[in-house]
Chain A
Amino acid sequence: MIRKLFVANRGEIALRVIRTAQKMGIATVLGASEADAASLPARMADDVAIVGPGPSAQSYLSVQRVVNAAVRSGCDAVHPGYGFLSENAAFASAVLAAGMRFVGPDIATLDGMGDKLAARALAVEAGLPVLPGGAAATRADVHTRAAQTGYPLLLKAVSGGGGKGMRRVDRAEDLDSALDMAQAEAQAAFGNAAVYVERFVAMGRHVEVQLLGDGANAIHLGTRDCSIQRRFQKLVEEAPAPAMPLAAREAVEQAAVRLARHLSYRGAGTAEFLVDATDFSFYFLELNARIQVEHPVTEAITGVDLVEQQLLVASGKPLSLTQAMVRPVGHAIEVRINAEDPDADFRPSPGRATRAAWPAGEGVRVDTHISTGGEVPPFYDSLMGKLIVHGQTREQAVERLNKALASLHIEGLPTTTPLHRRIVSDPRFIAGGVDTGFLNGLAQ
């Protein structure tokens, strides 16, 4: 069993991991940057190790500093959260080489899945359908590939995730400047500027499947729909995918499990699919070999603590859950409250929350590291917290979300709350099953 866990992350996910670890009797050390030394997760962890200054390249993204801090603090395992080094095979190898457990999949899986192109190839091997597109190592290759797929197309970071380093390109003349921005973002977020090309599907839904595996066996915990996105950043996620026939949901769930078994997947992971909004045919996009931001909607309907499952599998235990034991109940919706200014094209708005009154009540869960007086530093992503509601039906969940958003009051910096209030009262959202173009049709 894990005795002392190093949490190599920040913000709400660091707090989330600390909560479950403490519930399981595992001591926690937070590896925090100087900018996060007074953050809520730093207060809640049993101990804090400073991993470097504010900018993530010198702290949360530094393999050497994070591993050294974990070793110095006497930890026997490292939880990487999401983003940062969570899917970095070199980091996982360094953790193992230092004699600690890595809370995540095997190095081979990270190697295969961290490289989105290799992931495509593995999915094809496992018999999953993929979108037209592929590798493009040089600028000339990008142009050649673009000529094959046609426009609109997507440039995606090979080491990507979370929409960073992703750009939609509608016209050939925009390709070069979009490529510059995508590569710069990919370099900053993942330390790897490489991008690849994939056809863009306009009327698609983003549906993903939560997976759990122990290397020998793999199960799924149902679907999540994350179609409501802005600049490829998910804004709203729900479980299960609404307005999708049961047979279509089962088809993606089975495909995801097939991939997990093909990989002998170990730990928690998410297979992402693009689903045609009209005929429910689907294409594999990527497999995220880590905990996802939106994992709480799956927890809400299944009652399974996914971080606990991660820690148990990382301790070497076989899955105690079977597919038959997973019995989802009701419907859950999560909205991301980001420090972004809706009146200035959703520009990031770091600063201090002079007041943070989050909703409370039956079926309401809030995962946040921002309380009154909490600081949002300019170095990291803009996520301030997640509001999750659960109801017996989707209708009840929507009603609870509506009430909860009405009573959410954050002062001192602008947030995406007003946007979510508009989304939740949109008739298309209330009906359910919208595609990724939803936001363009949203009333101002």
Chain B
Amino acid sequence: MDNDLPLSHEDVAEIAAILEKSGYRELDLSTRRFHLRIAKSDVAGESLTQEWQWAGAAGEVAVQPTSAAVDPNAICSPLPGTFYHAPQPGAPAFAAPGDTVGPETVIGIVETMKLMNPVHAGRSGTIAEIVVPDGTLVAKGQPLFRLA
């Protein structure tokens, strides 16, 4: 870690302005800590771009867990996040085994990026099982409920 940030946004804007007026297409700057490319675009109507890459940050892309064979009776999470059974701690759960649900019935919520997203049953049926415990971090497409 260093005492000083490499370039301010004013610096980048200034380098971009110099590059724009020059005959050069792009500028590449590599140090031990970062790689910066400021480049002109070939496409009319586009401005220059700045692309930063930090040492050690170019790691492998996280593999999305996929449920191999999804149970046809499963209701899956529409997005990654934390799955909750009830609207708030201590409140009754949205749905319990034995409950009859319709496509629009809210049966849980998934909190992603601080937003509460309702989980709809998506079809009619009877809840057989809540597969995932309250407050669990779930992947997109992970089964949450099983219908009878």
Contacts and interface: CB of A to CB of B under 8 A. Distances in A.
Interface size class, chain B = 35 or more
Interface stretch (A197-205, A254-262, A322-330, A373-381): A373-381
Contacts of A184: 84, 87-88, 109, 116
Contacts of A409: 49
20 contacts: A43-B1, A44-B2, A44-B5, A164-B114, A177-B106, A181-B87, A185-B116, A193-B88, A339-B113, A347-B79, A348-B79, A352-B62, A361-B13, A372-B58, A374-B57, A378-B80, A378-B112, A406-B47, A407-B47, A407-B49
Interface stretch (B37-45, B67-75, B121-129): B37-45
Nearest to A355: B51
B114 A380 contact: yes
Contact of A404 (B47, B88, B116): B47
Given A188-B114, A365-B9, A360 B49 contact: yes
Interface string A201-242: 000000000000000000000000000000000000000000
A359 B113 contact: no
A9 interface: no
B56 interface: yes
A437 interface: no
Contacts of B12: 360, 366
A364 B80 contact: no
B60 to A, nearest CB: 9
A362 B18 CA distance: 10
Contacts, number: 158
B50 A357 contact: yes
Contacts of A62: none
A367 interface: yes
A22 B87 CA distance: 43
B49 A357 contact: yes
Q: Which 3 pairs, one residue from A and one from B, show the smallest C-beta to C-beta distance?
A: A371-B52, A407-B46, A360-B50
Nearest to B55: A43
A188 B111 contact: yes
A66 to B, nearest CB: 17
Contact of A352 (B53, B61, B111): B61
B49 A359 contact: yes
Nearest to A233: B115
Interface string B100-140: 00000010010111111110000000000000000001000
Contact of A381 (B61, B114, B137): B114
B115 A358 contact: no
Interface size class, chain A = 35 or more
A362 B10 CA distance: 9
A404 B33 CA distance: 27
Interface in A331-369: 339, 347-348, 350-352, 354-367
B114 A189 contact: yes
B23 interface: no
B21 to A, nearest CB: 10
Given A373-B54, A373-B57, A362 B17 contact: yes
A177 B109 CA distance: 12
Contacts of A402: 45
A47 interface: yes
Interface in B2-45: 2-5, 8-9, 12-13, 15-17, 20, 33, 38, 41, 43, 45
Contact of B38 (A19, A43, A360): A360
Contact of A373 (B48, B49, B53, B82): B53
B141 interface: no
Nearest to B4: A22
B105 to A, nearest CB: 11
Given A357-B50, A378-B112, A347 B20 contact: no
Interface in A369-413: 371-375, 378-382, 400, 402-404, 406-409, 412
Nearest to B45: A406
